[in-house]
Structure formats: C-alpha cells, structure tokens
Amino acid sequence: MNMYIQPDYEVVRDESKCIACRVCERQCANLVHSFDPDTGKMKADSTKCVNCHRCVCLCPTHALKIVKSDDTYKINANWDNQTINEVYKQANSGGVLLSSMGNPKPYPVYWDKMLVNASQVTNPPIDPLREPMETQIYLGKRSAKIERDKKGRLKNTLSPQLKLQVPIMFSAMSYGSISYNAHESLARAAEELGTFYNTGEGGLHKDFYRYGKNTIVQVASGRFGVFKDYLQSAAAIEIKMGQGAKPGIGGHLPGAKISADVSETRMIPQGVDAISPAPHHDIYSIEDLRQLVDSLKEVTEYKKPVIVKIAAVHNAAAIASGIARSGADIIAIDGYRGGTGAAPTRIRDNVGIPIELALAQVDQRLRDEGIRDEVSLVVGGSIRSSADVVKAIAMGADACYIGTAALLALGCHLCRTCHEGKCNWGIATQRPDLVKRLNPDIGYKRLVNLVTAWNHEIQEMMGGMGINSVEALRGNRLMLRGIGLTDAELRILGIRYAGESM
Ligand code: SF4
Ligand code: SF4
C-alpha cells in the first residue's frame, strides 16, 4: 500500500479568465493539466506539479498561479510536513531520496553578512565611466619574482595561464545533465564574453570542439568521454575530486537522460544510470594526484593549466595545501549550496560547508605557507550576484564559477527536479520536444547580458572602494566588514566587525 502524499503546491485556475486554450496542457511535461470534454473546462492534478512555473508564464490570460499548499499535518515543530512526507516516500519506495540543484535549507549565507567599504574624501572613489577599470585577469601559477636578462628581456618561463576578460566563468555542467541547446548557449556566451565554460564529466560533444579555446574539459572519477583529442581540444583541464552539492560521493546521471547522443559523447551505454565512483581509483594521496596532473600535462604538451576541483569540506585548507604542491595550476572550491543535476537529498542538504568559510581558510593557509602564488583560486557554490563576486574576490578568490545563476538566465525556475529529465524549460532534459524550447540564439544572449551586467556592477563597486583592478581587490579583506556574525565566524572569515575602523 502506498501512502497518499499531499502535494506541496496547488494549481489554482481562475475560471473567469481561463479560455480553455489548452496551452498549459501542451506545455506541461508532467501532465498536470487536462481538458475535460464533459464540462468543457480545464482541470489540474496538483500531485504531479513540480512548480516549474512554465504554465503560469505562458498562460495567455494569466489565469494560473501555483500556491503553497496550506494543507498540513497536525502542527509539530519536530515533525514538519516535509519531514513526514519524506518518511512516507521512503516507506513507499524503499529508495534513497533524490534531488537536484543546490541545498535549499535555511543555513546562513555569509555573503549577506558582509558589507563592502567605499572611499570618502581621501583615497577618492574612481568613476568607471570616465576612468580605466581592469576586470581582465589571468588564472595559473605566478612567478615568485620577475627576472630579466642584460637587455631587459623577461627570463621567466611562465606557466600556462587562462586569460579571462571578466572574473566569472560558467561552472561544470555536463552534456546529459543539461541539454545540447543549454550547452551551446554556454559555449557561445563564453566565447563572446572572453571567458570559459566547463564540460563537467559528460565529455565534449563533437559539435562543440570549435569552442575549444573557451572550454574547460573535466576529468572525473568515471573518466566518461575522456580521450586524447578531448584533452587537447580544451583551454584547460579540470580534475574533479569533489562537488559541493554532493561531497564524498560520485556523479549520477539517471538513465532516462542518457540519449543516443549523450551515450556517444560520454562513451557509455544508452538508457542506463551512469554512476561515477566516489574516489578516483588511481588517487589515494597527493602523490597520486600529482601523477594524474603530470599525465594530463604531458598529453597536452605542458601547454594547458590543470585545475583541481574539490568540495568545500571541514579540512579544505589542508587539502588545498596539498593540491598546491601537486603541480596543479588552479584550485576550484565548490561550496555546499552549489547546484547539481542529481544528488541524494540527504547528502546535498547535510554535507559540506559554506564556500565563504572554505575560501577564507584556504586563502589564509596558502598565504601562511608562502605558496599562495603557486595556484589561483576559483570559487563557486551559489554565487548569486555581482556583490557575491566582489566579496569572494576580496576574500581571496581570483575568479568565480557561476552555475545556478547561469541556468536562471536561461529560464530555469529552480523547481529542483532536473534528475527527472522532464525540464519544461528545455535545460535539464534530453527529450527533443523539450530541448527545442530553449533557443540557443536567445539563451547565449541572455547569458552575455547577465555577465556583462555583473561586470558593470563589479566595476562600480570597485570604483566605490577606490580600486581600479580585480587584481588589486584580490584578498583585500580590509574592504569587508561583518554584520550579525559571531567572534568565531569573524575569526574564520578573517574580517572585522562593521564599525571597526581600518
Ligand atoms: S493556458 Fe491559461 S487560459 Fe489556456 S487553458 Fe491553461 S489556464 Fe486556461
Ligand atoms: S533546470 Fe529545469 S528541471 Fe532543473 S531546476 Fe531549473 S527548471 Fe527545474
């Protein structure tokens, strides 16, 4: 016997506005809406609704809204509706609860507890409309000192670098977890913006090799889609050791999303769940990691930087210290609010730490050990606005990865059901009828608009601080003040309380 589970949301239709055009019926891949020929009216099955808002947005008469259900079990602070429903679901199915996108729990967001400084009178602000403002950055190892020969020519051999026109990249999202059109949008936007997108662990579709100079390819524990041409096609290679949404476990692509095209790109069977292992089976130490870094550099003739991506966990600083000594050029840290196409709900909601705390600890540890210039730091895991980017850079990041914000720009409404493969917005799906709903010509422009807008705001905020380059802002924690934070949180973040002067 399956226990009936009351839906979280209800579809409300204003009958005085509905013209029974059946748009909502055609648009909903979850089969919520249907036409009743007996009454000549539309009806809805709220139990199937995932609250993706597709019908609400496209209803020509604005007759629809989705509301939070006010049905409730007997009020109990210990056993809320969601907790009870999850027990019923597991008693019904006997399975692990799956979810997608980032951790939705009300944990503190430290970016919202930091305030940015502004110049007044002395060290005056800089007006980015009238004065130069540099947001171009390079990612990779930096030389400890500049050496020149007698003629003044540079003697240093520079390590391979990534050149970004904006301190923002699109984070790893695999073909399979997201659609062909979503990938095309990201690739074209990265090219136009002068930044990078990331294949995730899904391999690189043959059509996207032409975006190679703006592509970061990933090598994850399953080695899906990894071969020589794949590695050589990209601007950089990222070894994925962990992911913020699911630290300590491997990737999971449900079989429903493994179409023929995805299967060919990933080099895996069609229609069968692809679960990559939790560890890399050849990496059990920093020495093992060094061997993989060396192998990837060798196969790409030492021309491409290697990124090592880890999840933000309790001992991220010690791990990063080891990675900085492994020969990697860039460390990417992914916080626990980072998105995913599919993750066990318990892992997503209970494992890892906020990116703000991990970044503060990693940057400080690398500085204390005198190896901060050995690597660049890229952070992700719910970077939501240009203000988050500015604060992350002031905390010590060189650049940020954005994933969820990029998907929002493409039309995502954060319904958190990507793992079901029926994304009504054409993003997290492989169903051809749904994929075509996302027009890459429009998608890439929206991504370019988003990052361009953020870049303007970054320039304005830096100008307000009297700083004219991202490089000068990096690690400048004196520009930040905490508000509503405990002494322990201020100590870990390495910032002063609002009201404390320089
Ligand atoms: S899309 Fe709007 S007007 Fe058309 S059937 Fe649905 S609720 Fe009615
Ligand atoms: S990508 Fe699609 S399925 Fe995933 S959260 Fe966004 S709207 Fe929902």
pLDDT tens-digit map of 281-310: 999 999 999 999 999 999 999 999 999 999
Atom of ligand 1 nearest to the CA of 58: 1
Indicate if 292 and 356 belong to the same structural domain. yes
Token pair 């969601």 is at which residue? 82
CATH of the domain at 178: 3.20.20.70
Q: How far apart are CA 447 and CA 443, in angstroms?
A: 6
Token pair 């690189």 is at which residue? 204
Indicate if 290 and 436 belong to the same structural domain. yes
Mean pLDDT rounded to a whole number for the chain: 95
| pTM for this prediction | 0.96
Q: Relative to the alpha carbon of 173, which ligand is closest?
A: 2
115 belongs to a structural domain: no
Centroid of ligand 1 to alpha carbon of 17 (angstroms): 8
Q: How far apart are CA 444 and CA 410, in angstroms?
A: 8
Find out whether the beta carbon of 57 lies less than 6 Å from any atom of ligand 2.
no
**C-beta separation of 461 from 469 below 8 A:** no
Indicate if 438 and 377 belong to the same structural domain. yes
pLDDT digits (tens, 9 = 90+) for 401-440: 999 999 999 999 999 999 999 999 999 999 999 999 999 9
Indicate if 179 and 46 belong to the same structural domain. no
Indicate if 242 and 378 belong to the same structural domain. yes
Closest CA to 173 of 412, 359, 362, 363: 412
Provide the token pair at 332. Answer: 């990417």
Atom of ligand 1 nearest to the CA of 23: 1
φ, ψ for residue 315, nearest 5 deg: -105, 40
Where does a domain end: 34, 66, 95? Answer: 95
476 belongs to a structural domain: no
Find out whether the beta carbon of 423 lies less than 6 Å from any atom of ligand 2.
yes
Indicate if 307 and 384 belong to the same structural domain. yes
Q: What integer pLDDT is reported at residue 438 of this predicted model?
A: 98
481 belongs to a structural domain: no
Indicate if 306 and 442 belong to the same structural domain. yes
Indicate if 178 and 68 belong to the same structural domain. no
18 belongs to a structural domain: yes
Residue type for position 32: V
Q: How far apart are CA 383 and CA 355, in angstroms?
A: 9
pLDDT digits (tens, 9 = 90+) for 121-173: 888 999 999 999 999 999 999 987 788 888 888 887 788 999 999 999 999 99
Find out whether the beta carbon of 133 lies less than 6 Å from any atom of ligand 2.
no
**C-beta separation of 169 from 400 below 8 A:** yes
Indicate if 171 and 91 belong to the same structural domain. no
What is the chain's alpha carbon radius of gyration, rounded to the nearest angstrom?
24
Kindly tell me if the per-residue pLDDT of 50 is higher than 80: yes
Strand order in the sheet with 197-198: 168-170, 399-402, 376-380, 330-334, 306-311, 236-240, 215-219, 197-198
159 belongs to a structural domain: no
SS3 call for 154: strand
Q: Which DSSP string corresponds to 413-461?
A: ---S-GGGTB-TTSSSB--HHHHTTS-HHHHHHHHHHHHHHHHHHHHHH
Which burial class, exposed, middle or buried, applies to 166 when counting CB atoms under 10 A from its CB (0-12, 13-18, 19+)? buried
**C-beta separation of 186 from 172 below 8 A:** no
CATH of the domain at 64: 3.30.70.20
The DSSP code for 172 is: B
Indicate if 137 and 84 belong to the same structural domain. no
Centroid of ligand 2 to alpha carbon of 31 (angstroms): 16
**C-beta separation of 70 from 77 below 8 A:** no
239 belongs to a structural domain: yes
Kindly tell me if the per-residue pLDDT of 369 is higher than 90: yes
Q: How far apart are CA 7 and CA 50, in angstroms?
A: 9
Indicate if 268 and 386 belong to the same structural domain. yes
pLDDT digits (tens, 9 = 90+) for 194-239: 999 999 998 999 999 999 999 999 999 999 999 999 999 999 999 9
Residues whose CB is less than 8 angstroms from the CB of residue 492 and which lie 6 or more positions away in sequence, other chains included:
357, 360, 361
Where does a domain end: 65, 95, 125? Answer: 95
Centroid of ligand 1 to alpha carbon of 404 (angstroms): 29
117 belongs to a structural domain: no
pLDDT digits (tens, 9 = 90+) for 240-258: 999 999 999 998 888 888 9
φ, ψ for residue 116, nearest 5 deg: -100, 145
152 belongs to a structural domain: no
Residue 36 bridge partners (DSSP) = 41
Q: How far apart are CA 262 and CA 271, in angstroms?
A: 10
Q: How far apart are CA 54 and CA 293, in angstroms?
A: 44
Token pair 């490089």 is at which residue? 471
Number of domains comprising the chain: 2
Indicate if 177 and 67 belong to the same structural domain. no
Give Cα 145 to chain centroid, integer Å: 34
φ, ψ for residue 146, nearest 5 deg: -90, 125
User: Which domain does 65 fall in, by range?
Assistant: 9-95
Provide the token pair at 321. Answer: 């210290």
Pocket test for ligand 2, best of 27, 28, 418, 419 (most atoms within 8 A of CB): 418
Atom of ligand 1 nearest to the CA of 27: 1
